[in-house]
A and B are shown apart, each in its own frame.
Chain A
Amino acid sequence: MMNAVTLPIVNAARQISTLWKENIIKPITRSDNFVPDCKFEHTLEKAEIDVSGLNVSIKGKLILKDINLKIPEKKITCIIGPSGCGKSTLLKTFNRLIDSTEGIHVEGKVQLGTNDIINTQGNALTEMRRHIGLINQRPCPLPMSIYDNIAYGCKINGIHNRHMLDKIVEHYLKAVGLWDEIKNRLHTPASRLSIGQQQRLCLARSLAVEPEFILADESTSALDPISSKIIEELFVRLKEQYSIIMVTHTLRQALRIADYVVFMYLGEVIEAGDAQTIFHSPQEELTKNYLSGAFS
């Protein structure tokens, strides 16, 4: 008789403790103890990318040929090369966004830290994507208010507490230098911002989920020079915490801020290495020609 009463209670308690351990129910954090940039677990030990034997073909046509790369952590890596050589495709392979292209076929290994993203599927893949932030060429604010744009990443990863979200939004808007400009209109639609502001908002949005990597696909090419400069300065500041991989079309930008450079041509990596070495004493003929402006 007692068993009939205690057994369900014990089972319920066991259920609750499992759910607690798996972080489905969390204790309500008091907002004073909350640190906005330490809310998610950091499961990637080393924030470097190790690419080996990567081949990507779309509908039979080989776009990326046998890529082997090692991208260092916490540095700005610039991928340079003439247009159409596969830079964006490489970037999109890093977070598996090219999966949605029709006829795509990917072979090889891309290790982000200790996980091979090419061989991850389903829920683990969704989880891994959180560690990689992406900023597109044209700023793409979500159809919501500024506040909701930044809070979106947190909401989908389980943070709903209003106080926590307020702090997060403030923290990241300050990190990209937008806080003072828009703190009075946080709940207006994000599409009303200027292009430069929108791009910074997209950056803040990506940072809010605490990625280890930031992928930037020609992120300043649609902006005016002043906004471009602001974004570049942001990247320079952010590289202390994140590994930044940029695709850039303008050599000057790479010259300004790159620490590590990868030169690509027609889907192959021609040369990769430390920025100073590549710019001042390139090994390959093609690299020399590209750097001297023979083709772009």
Chain B
Amino acid sequence: MIALAFTSLLLVIGMGGGLFAKSLPILQEHSLSNLLFSSSWHPMKGEFGFFPFIMGTIWVTLLAIVLAFPISILVAVFLTGFSQKRIWKLVYPILDILASLPSVIYGVWGTLLIVPWISRFFGPIFVEYTSGYTVLAGGIVLAVMILPVLISLMTELFKTVPEELRDVSISLGATTWQTAKFVILRKTKAGIFAIVALAISRALGETIAVLMVCGNSAETPHSIFNACYPLSALIANNYGEMLSVPLYESALMLAAFLLFIIVLIFNLSSQLVLRYIKTNE
């Protein structure tokens, strides 16, 4: 049984190590900075510039957080200070269902609703033409996917603020929003950062929903109405051709390794902060 428990550690290390090992061939051919910052992606010619994909991932994830963060904070504050307990009982199943929906379903919804909306209504306000398969579509779909995790974790976090603090603020004549702003949000600042980091790590890894709406074009996006090509979509789309071109497999494994490391960093730091908060309350 100890062995089984050890497997978890082994798995983490093994995964990281294995992916890294597989990425070695391409790292030996090109320098790391060339790989990370070059924009030319022509596997047939042996050029592997990851920059567009990294930027694609960053753009989509950032947009998702920007969209989801205000909504989730407002809902979490509402549920913990402004409403009766029974509203929480209504909202919780909604969040549950949203969280359990498979990624493909979000992708289908995105293709059916969001993409046409962007290409027909929203896009033409700002740009001449957009196909709808854009960073914005990916951002919106991702935002909806990380909303449940953000809201439920934040609500839990806000509930840890002791009742007395709220009572004190209210008896000084503060409105409920002022109490939320000055007392609750200030006290839970660290936790909020950790939760956002956790949400980012989930968003980074989302593959199939983003793949279906983001356009899959290997160019660095210049605006949210351009198409993009996040790292996860890159790996998913090209696994079939991996074996035919030399170094392609290694390149994709490097992409997987990059994703692994970034997710690991965000996940680990936020877990440590959240655990620290839990033990200190």
Contact = CB atoms under 8 A, between A and B. Distances in A.
Given A102-B85, A136-B164, A97 B170 contact: yes
B130 interface: no
B174 A126 contact: yes
A126 B175 contact: yes
30 contacts: A100-B166, A100-B167, A126-B173, A129-B171, A129-B172, A129-B173, A130-B172, A130-B173, A132-B171, A134-B168, A134-B171, A136-B167, A136-B168, A140-B164, A140-B165, A142-B168, A142-B182, A143-B165, A152-B169, A152-B182, A155-B182, A156-B173, A156-B174, A156-B175, A156-B178, A156-B182, A205-B172, A206-B171, A209-B172, A209-B173
B183 interface: yes
A97 B173 CA distance: 11
Contacts of B175: 123, 126, 156
Contacts of B222: none
A81 interface: no
B163 interface: yes
A155 B186 CA distance: 15
B275 interface: no
B74 to A, nearest CB: 20
Nearest to B84: A102
A274 interface: no
A140 B172 CA distance: 13
Interface in B147-165: 162-165
A134 B169 CA distance: 10
A132 B168 CA distance: 11
Contacts of A205: 172
A127 interface: yes
Contacts of B170: 97, 126, 129
Contacts of B167: 97, 100, 134, 136, 140
A133 interface: yes
Interface SS of chain B: helix
Complex A-B, nearest 7 residue pairs according to Cβ-Cβ distance, in ascending order: A130-B173, A134-B171, A153-B172, A140-B164, A156-B174, A143-B187, A156-B178
Interface in A128-147: 129-130, 132-134, 136, 138, 140, 142-144
Given A100-B163, A102-B85, A152-B182, A140 B168 contact: yes
Contacts of A143: 165, 183, 186-187
Interface-centre pick from B173, B183, B187 (highest chain A CB count, 10 A): B173
A156 B172 contact: yes
A161 interface: no
A145 B168 CA distance: 16
Contacts of B174: 126, 156
Contacts of B182: 142, 152, 155-156
B172 A97 contact: no
Given A136-B164, A142-B165, A142-B183, A95 B171 contact: yes
Interface string B243-264: 0000000000000000000000
A9 B174 CA distance: 35
B173 A138 contact: no
Contacts of A133: 171-172
Interface in B107-148: none
A130 to B, nearest CB: 3
A157 interface: yes
Which of B85, B165, B174 has the most CB atoms of chain A within a 10 A radius of its CB?
B174
Contacts of B168: 134, 136, 140, 142, 202
Contacts of A126: 170, 173-175
A110 to B, nearest CB: 15
A149 to B, nearest CB: 9
A102 B85 CA distance: 9
Contacts of A134: 167-168, 171
Contacts of B166: 100
Contacts of A100: 163, 166-167
A123 B173 CA distance: 10
A156 B182 CA distance: 9
